[in-house]
Amino acid sequence: MEHWRKHLYTIWFAETISLIGFSFCLTFMPYYLQELGVKDIKQVALWTGLLQTVGPLMMVISAPFWGILSDRKGRKIMVERAMFSGFVILILMSFARNVQHLLILRILQGFFTGTFTAAIVLAASQMPKEKSGYGLGLMQTSSFIASSAGPFLGGIASDIWGYRNSFFFSGILVGLAGCMVMFGVQEQKQIDRETQQNSDNEKTRNDLFFLFIILFLFQFSITLLSPVIAIFIQKITPEARKIATIAGSIIAISGIASVFSAILAGHMSGKHDNRILLSVMLIISGIFTMLATLSKSPGQLMFLRILSGLSAGGIIPIINTSIHLGTKKTELGKNFGIAGGISSLGSGFGPIVGGALASVFSLEFTFIFSGLMMIITGAICPVLLEKIKVDKEGKGIPEITDL
């Protein structure tokens, strides 16, 4: 097996395990808050939004910092830093006595972790440019697999073992992932000094700027639902036992659907008009998100979450592939770090705004607002990205005209 493929699969597997660990507790976070003393449903939504916001907001600052540091000190050590920090912090969360303790730990988690961006940089630094779509599409599936398996397994575990023990187990998973990278990946000591006509010029910087705008708007839109979806599930299944398992299953099914979309998008990126692909995916996903408000049962919601996952799963791989193709290996950490910060900014504002909307208006209004944001983002894609071109052989983005 080729050297870069072996490392890609090792990084992918480790990152999948790591993200499963981090997402293990997402399903039952609103229920854990109720156990810690937050009883009012609107306050639960607000606190859940805040807890899901502070971590990503810290990553807005930390991701570019760690990215630039990875270009100078190495990419592997940044993955290890992120995973072993997550191991310690998640275990500490199992000992939280009130919501304020969780808030402090989420702040620390946001600054010291960020495993996905670190893993993307490490993987991208070792793969050939022509394999960008395949490699980064595969890496994105780790996020979707984790968003499927993590909440599902976390829901089952919390129903069986309790919420505190589930945090402890999630920390163990992240620690094991760190060991996989430590012993299974050997970083290249010398980075190829390739020449690339699209790097280090104003045209590429403009292109990346508009890609970052799309990335922010998408992450903001999709994470609006983070603090409310579990509560919405609770609302439409008021008599159900094992509610955490049901919620985990519904959240998981969207991630499973997104895996297939991410792989397909990885192969299509650079071979077709990326602006049209992004536009169509965003608009369709927005429509299905709005239709979710009509759900009267978990089964109906699950069906719409499948369709939403299929339509949205390829968006990030297309954006990441475009960033990789327009970046020298010596600056991968910087550009992906900035992308990680922008993504975290959207992910940070999304939950707190979603929680506030649910608190002031309703759960259904949050779904509608999220869907409208995705539709608007999809509509402006052809405008912002209209100058991006691919060559006739579909080998990437060899020409980016002035914007």
Whether 189 is in a domain gets the answer: no
Please tell me the total count of domains within the chain: 1
Element (H, E) at 309: helix 298-312
Tokens of 343: 């993504």
383 alpha carbon, distance to own chain's centre: 25
Per DSSP, 388 falls in state E
pLDDT of residue 374: 95
**400 three-state secondary structure:** strand
pLDDT of residue 369: 95
- Measure the CA–CA gap between 85 and 109, rounded to whole angstroms: 7
Per DSSP, 329 falls in state G
pLDDT of residue 387: 46
Element (H, E) at 389: strand 388-389
| DSSP string for 240-306 | -SSHHHHHHHHHHHHHHHHHHHHHHHHHHBTTB-HHHHHHHHHHHHHHHHHHGGG--SHHHHHHHHH
Asked if 173 and 15 touch (Cβ cutoff 8 Å), the reply is: no
Q: What is the pTM of this model?
A: 0.78
Whether 383 is in a domain gets the answer: yes
Whether 70 is in a domain gets the answer: yes
- Measure the CA–CA gap between 261 and 268, rounded to whole angstroms: 10
pLDDT of residue 398: 34
If 0-12 CB within 10 Å is exposed, 13-18 middle and 19+ buried, where does residue 197 land? exposed
What is the sign of the dihedral through the CA atoms of 40, 43, 47 and 52?
A: positive
Distances (CA, A) of 381 to 218, 266, 367, 388: 11, 18, 22, 11
SS3 content of the chain, % helix, strand, coil (to 5): 80, 0, 20
Per-residue pLDDT of the chain (403 residues; tens, 9 = 90+): 678 889 999 999 999 999 999 988 876 788 889 888 888 887 887 888 788 778 888 888 899 999 999 988 899 999 999 999 999 999 999 999 999 999 999 999 999 998 999 999 999 888 887 788 888 889 989 988 887 788 778 888 888 888 888 899 999 999 999 999 999 998 876 544 444 444 445 555 667 788 889 999 999 999 898 888 888 888 888 776 677 778 878 877 887 888 888 888 877 766 667 778 888 899 999 999 999 999 888 889 999 989 988 888 888 888 888 788 777 777 888 889 999 889 888 887 888 899 889 888 988 999 999 999 999 999 988 877 654 443 333 344 333 332 2
Whether 190 is in a domain gets the answer: no
Whether 172 is in a domain gets the answer: yes
**401 three-state secondary structure:** coil
Q: What is the CATH number of the domain that holds 50?
A: 1.20.1250.20
Whether 193 is in a domain gets the answer: no
Whether 192 is in a domain gets the answer: no
Q: Give the domain extent around 217.
A: 3-183+199-400
pLDDT of residue 107: 93
pLDDT of residue 345: 87
CA nearest neighbour of 366 among 220, 247, 255: 220
pLDDT of residue 197: 44
